[in-house]
Amino acid sequence: MMQAETRTCRSCTRPFTIDPDDFAFYEKVNVPAPTWCPPCRAKRRAAFRNERSFYSRTCDLCKKQIIAIYPADAPFPVYCNECWYSDGWDPFAFGVAYDPSRPFFEQNKELRLLVPRAATIGRNNVDSTFVNIGAENKRGYYLVESSTSEDSAYCYWVEDHCKECLDSAFLKKTEVAYETQEARESFRVFFSNDVSQCHDSWFLKNCTNAADCFGCVNERNAKYHIFNTPYPKVEYVRERGVFDTGSYRVIEELKERFQKFVLTFPHKFADIDRSENCSGNYIANSRNCHDSYFVEDGENVRYCVRVMYHVRDIMDCDTVGFPGERCYESINTALGVVRMKFCVRCWTGTNSEYCDNCDTINDCFGCIGLRDAQYCVLNKRYTKEEYEALVPRIMSDMSTTPYVDSKKRAYGYGEFFPAELSPFAYNETIAAEYFPLSEHEALQDGYSWRVGERKKHVATLPGEQLPDHIRDVTDSITQEIISCTHNGKCAHSCSGAFRIVPQEFQFYRKIGLPLPRLCPNCRHYERQAERNPMKLWHRTCQCAGEGSSNGVYTNTATHQHGAGKCQNEFETSYSPERKEIIYCESCYNSEVV
């Protein structure tokens, strides 16, 4: 049994611990122990994922005008998705023989500048614009990491046949949702968070099977409740009618009132369901998953974000699985992946390392843009025997002749791609969301930075001057360029101005919702800011005991620990400074479920 070891991160120089279980995993997947700490590794990977920086440019093959996640001045060719997936070009034509006298990453870097990339990640999106990391969407507009949706816009992570969802995130099987997050099997839900099988409801937080509810928290099977008070149907309709939800001012007041109301209820320390020995958040049906977020049906997972649908023995992965096994240090690598290491955007594959933008690959090393390939190194085909002799040699050369980046950090075998090989600038990627850095800090850290050619939108209508009530908005609104009321005052990338597209306007009218005052980017980041960080704190349950109050909430049920204070401890993404009341699972279930 190996001992836990504390090492110094070669990137940030802070100490980090490698546990015996971690060593066992590295042995299982045949990699040396990491030299960077977990957050530095996560940041390096995240800098290879651009979700929502879109550019207008031409396809370098058919010359059509397209929307791409790479700007017009990208140093490599970019093809529209039709061209990229066509037989109009041959990725093997770029194959080069490995040169043992030069670092592997240097050769891989050169290849990365030659091989064309697809404009966006995704396929089979019909009548859709601005869709990245998504497939099978119909009439979608500005969708990221979303699939099989219909008539939806400005959404993030909506899957499983969602329809008519707007400005929402993390939805499954949900129809007609607005400003809602974490909803499943719900219908007509607005300004809600963490809801399941709810319908015709506004301002819900953590409710299951609620119908015709308004401003409710922790409700199960409730009907006609307003701020957790039950009403007879007739009175509900009358009382609900008092809230004029077509008014922007009223909605803003309700948001504030609801936020305060939410703080008077206990919250479960983490969203972990039907799982054993797990730490992190949003984990379901899993065992032995730690320091991970968004895990479904996982086993032996650590330092992962969004690994799901049957994943076993996965470490340091972001958006990997569906299903996956024995994968390490990879991002966007899914749809049946086994023993994939150090890969970026590879769909379906086995036994491949340091590959990027490949589909259906087996036994490939350092390749880019390949489809249906086996025994390839740097896009050059080999026989099985040649491949099996060459790859171990490269791996050993990588350690003896490592690539040294501009920050004098050495990259041998076992390191993810060096930051400077990313096709994106730091501020175009989700790294900037999870680990915000200034331009100076990003450059210091070896990442690149893109200074946006600030589009010269001439706003025709200041956001502040939009009519308060939706009934006072006329059809001409879709002709206006509205200035975002944040107007660049926030830390992230504000688009400055925005339009209300006709599809969106119809939705606001149909539901009776006021127009937004922020641009789609600011709306997205505001929703993200409402979420807990992907970080854990060790805390103790705040339950004061049966019949007791912690000053804000008074228990009403029987608790396992009786009248005394609960002593249970846990890892939670609620930092100690936060105002929410945090309960352990047992206390939470006593009061709520």
Interface with Zn ion (CB under 5 A)? 9, 11-12, 37, 40, 59, 61-62, 80, 83, 484, 486, 494, 519, 522, 541, 543, 559, 566, 568, 584, 587
Q: Of 162 and 278, which CB lies nearer to Zn ion in the complex structure?
A: 278
Q: How far is the CB of 433 from Zn ion (least distance, A)?
A: 15
Q: How far is the CB of 8 from Zn ion (least distance, A)?
A: 9
Q: How far is the CB of 2 from Zn ion (least distance, A)?
A: 22
Closest CA to 204 of 226, 233, 175: 226
Length of the chain, in residues:
593
Q: Of 260 and 456, which CB lies nearer to Zn ion in the complex structure?
A: 456
Q: Of 167 and 325, which CB lies nearer to Zn ion in the complex structure?
A: 167
Q: Of 9 and 67, which CB lies nearer to Zn ion in the complex structure?
A: 9
Residue 55 to residue 69: CA distance in whole angstroms: 6
The neighbour count for residue 82, using CB atoms within 10 Å, is 16
Q: How far is the CB of 367 from Zn ion (least distance, A)?
A: 22
Residue 144 to residue 51: CA distance in whole angstroms: 6
Q: Of 49 and 486, which CB lies nearer to Zn ion in the complex structure?
A: 486
Q: How far is the CB of 12 from Zn ion (least distance, A)?
A: 3
Q: How far is the CB of 554 from Zn ion (least distance, A)?
A: 12
Q: How far is the CB of 495 from Zn ion (least distance, A)?
A: 5
Q: Of 364 and 494, which CB lies nearer to Zn ion in the complex structure?
A: 494
Closest CA to 391 of 458, 345, 333, 341: 341
The neighbour count for residue 113, using CB atoms within 10 Å, is 14
Q: Of 484 and 515, which CB lies nearer to Zn ion in the complex structure?
A: 484
User: Is 473:466 a contact under the CB 8 Å cutoff?
Assistant: yes
User: Is 309:320 a contact under the CB 8 Å cutoff?
Assistant: no
Q: How far is the CB of 124 from Zn ion (least distance, A)?
A: 16
- 170 class by beta-carbon count within 10 Å (0-12 exposed, 13-18 middle, 19+ buried): buried
Q: How far is the CB of 232 from Zn ion (least distance, A)?
A: 33
Closest CA to 266 of 539, 562, 587, 563: 587
Q: Of 218 and 300, which CB lies nearer to Zn ion in the complex structure?
A: 218
Residue 3 to residue 54: CA distance in whole angstroms: 47
Q: How far is the CB of 55 from Zn ion (least distance, A)?
A: 15
Q: Of 118 and 171, which CB lies nearer to Zn ion in the complex structure?
A: 118
Distances (CA, A) of 385 to 92, 133, 363, 371, 379: 19, 36, 12, 21, 17
Q: What are the φ/ψ torsions at residue 538 (nearest 5 degrees)?
A: -85, 120
Residue 146 to residue 130: CA distance in whole angstroms: 12
Q: Of 57 and 341, which CB lies nearer to Zn ion in the complex structure?
A: 57
Q: Of 40 and 373, which CB lies nearer to Zn ion in the complex structure?
A: 40
Give me the DSSP letters along 329-385. Answer: EEEEEEEEEEEEES-EEEEEEEEEES-EEEEEEEEEES-BS-EEEEEEETTEE--HH
Q: How far is the CB of 117 from Zn ion (least distance, A)?
A: 12
**Which residues, listed in sequence order, are joined to residue 211 by a DSSP beta bridge?**
199, 223
Q: Of 40 and 177, which CB lies nearer to Zn ion in the complex structure?
A: 40
- As a three-state string, the secondary structure of 86-130 is CCCCCHHHHCCCCCCCCCHHHHHHHHHCCCCEECCCEECCECCEE
Region for 44 from its dihedrals, namely left if φ exceeds 0, alpha if ψ lies in -120 to 50, beta otherwise: alpha
Q: How far apart are the first and last CA of the chain?
A: 42
Q: How far is the CB of 202 from Zn ion (least distance, A)?
A: 25
State how far Cα 349 lies from the chain centre.
Answer: 22
Q: Of 77 and 298, which CB lies nearer to Zn ion in the complex structure?
A: 77
Closest CA to 163 of 154, 150, 173: 150
User: Is 269:539 a contact under the CB 8 Å cutoff?
Assistant: yes
- Residue 322 makes CB contacts below 8 A (sequence gap 6+) with 308, 309, 310, 334, 335, 336
Q: How far is the CB of 561 from Zn ion (least distance, A)?
A: 6
Q: What are the φ/ψ torsions at residue 399 (nearest 5 degrees)?
A: -80, -35
